[in-house]
Each structure stands twice: as structure tokens, then as C-alpha cells.
Amino acid sequence: MVQFIESELVLLKKEVSEMWMLVCNQMERARDAVLGMNVEMAQQVAVREKRVNAFELKIDSDVEDIISLYNPVAVDLRFALAMLKINSNLERIGDFAESIANFATLEKEPLDAGLLERLRLPEMFEQCLSMLKLAQQALMDENIDLATSVIPKDNLLDEINRDASKVIAAYLAQHPDKALACLNLVSVFRKLERTGDHIINIAEEIVFFIDAKVLKHKGNAEEKNLRK
């Protein structure tokens, strides 16, 4: 029985890794679609989203089978539960990638290069992708240090997203005819910021699996203790 469950867990980890690479590729294509205003690339992201959804359903089913057939305990159970939650977060990131890429189909004119530089949109994309890849490496290596190193990187995404609103508002004041484009651009920033949140969720699940530590809401608890 032990040998069977070990082989099933290895296969599950491989499936999650494959989905991870697909989602990462989706975000890379979304970046290229937006920054290059590439409609064809955006359409490719939309088509491939069906593969992301199919992966999610398959992994969910496999985790349910493992739990029902093998009744895992301790680290094996933590691993199965972590994969279930990581799978859900990856699927949401895939959704965001599709929505972000759709910006290229909504806008008919190239983006203002100077505006993009002030908004730091390319930097935000790169930070998201860096976090996503680092979290994947943390899972593959089962490395807590790598997993926890992902968490503070989200601060940069929050900073860029916060500053973007001010930059867009100033730009809009001078270019009122770009109102719709600016609204769509704000949506891109919000989805990238939310992507960072989901990557943090993933990193926390990796820590939970490896060391049985629950990091979620830990910051809130510490703040409450300080106020006592």
C-alpha cells in the first residue's frame, strides 16, 4: 500500500508541475500580448485556457482518488491537500492571464510607451513571473527557504499597483479621450496584483506541506497581538 501511494503522489506532483508550466507560459503570452498589442497572441491565450481548466479538473479528481483509496496521513495527507489548493490557485492565475491578454483585443491603438515606462508594467509582469517560477522551484526542491522568500516579493507588486492609479489619473487628466483605455489598463494592474496574492497562497501551501506550519492569516494575528 505504501509503495502504491508513493507512486501516486509522485505522479500527482508531476501533473501539478505540468500545469504550473502551462500557467506560467500563459502569463508570458499575456505579457507579450499586452506589451506588444498582439491580438493573435491574446487569442492563443484564450484557446489554451481550456487546457488549464482541463488540468484543474484532472488534478482535483486525482487528489480525491488518492484520499479515498489510500487514506493518507501525516505528510502524505498534507501533500495531497496542498496540491489541491495549489491547483485551485494556479487555475485562477490562468484565468487572470486570459483576462489580461484580452486587453490587446480591446484596444485598437498601441500603448503610449512613455506611459508604460512610468507605470512600470513590464517590471510588474516580470515580478509576477519570477515569483511564479520561484514558487515552483520551491515545490520541486521541497525547499522552505525558497517558498518563504516568495512572500515579501509581493510588496513590489502592491507598490506598483498603488502607484499606477496615480499615474493613470494624471495621464487621463491630459488625455480625456483615453478614458476607456485607462480603465482597461487599471484592470490589468489589478489582475497582476491579484496574481501575486495567489502566488503567496501557493507559497504558504508549500510551507504547510513541508513543515506543517500554517502561515495564512499569521500576519493578521501578529498585528492583533501587538494591539493588545
Question: What CATH number did the domain enclosing 197 receive?
Answer: 1.20.58.220
pLDDT exceeds cutoff 80 at 148: yes
Per-residue confidence (pLDDT) for residue 224, from 0 to 100: 40
Q: Is the pLDDT of residue 185 over 90?
A: yes
Position 122 in a domain: yes
Quick check: is 192 in a domain?
yes
Query: How confident is the prediction for the chain on average, in pLDDT?
Result: 91
- The Cα 190–Cα 50 span in angstroms is 23
For residue 149, what are the CA distances in angstroms to 77, 109, 153, 216?
Answer: 24, 39, 7, 15
pTM of the model: 0.90
Q: How much is the pLDDT for 216? A: 65
Query: pLDDT: is 215 or 136 the higher one?
Result: 136
**pLDDT value at residue 2:** 59
Q: Residue 27: inside a domain, yes or no?
A: yes
* pLDDT at position 215: 66
Q: How confident is the model at residue 96 (pLDDT cuts 50, 70, 90)?
A: very high
**Residue with C-alpha cell 515580478?**
127
Q: What is the pLDDT of residue 110?
A: 83
For residue 228, tell me if it sits in a domain: no
Please determine, for residue 219, whether its predicted confidence score (pLDDT) is greater than 60.
Answer: no
Could you give the CA distance from residue 190 to residue 195 in angstroms, rounded to a whole number? 9
Average pLDDT for 166-177:
93
Is 124 a domain residue? yes
Residue 35: give the domain boundaries. 2-223
- The pLDDT score that the predictor gives to residue 227 is 37
pLDDT of residue 50: 95
pLDDT at 223 (0 to 100): 39
169 domain residue, yes or no: yes
pLDDT score at 133: 97
Mean pLDDT of 104-119: 87
How many Cβ atoms sit within 10 Å of the Cβ of residue 124? 23
Q: Give domain status of residue 136, yes or no.
A: yes
**26 in a structural domain:** yes
Query: How many domains does the structure of the chain reveal?
Result: 1
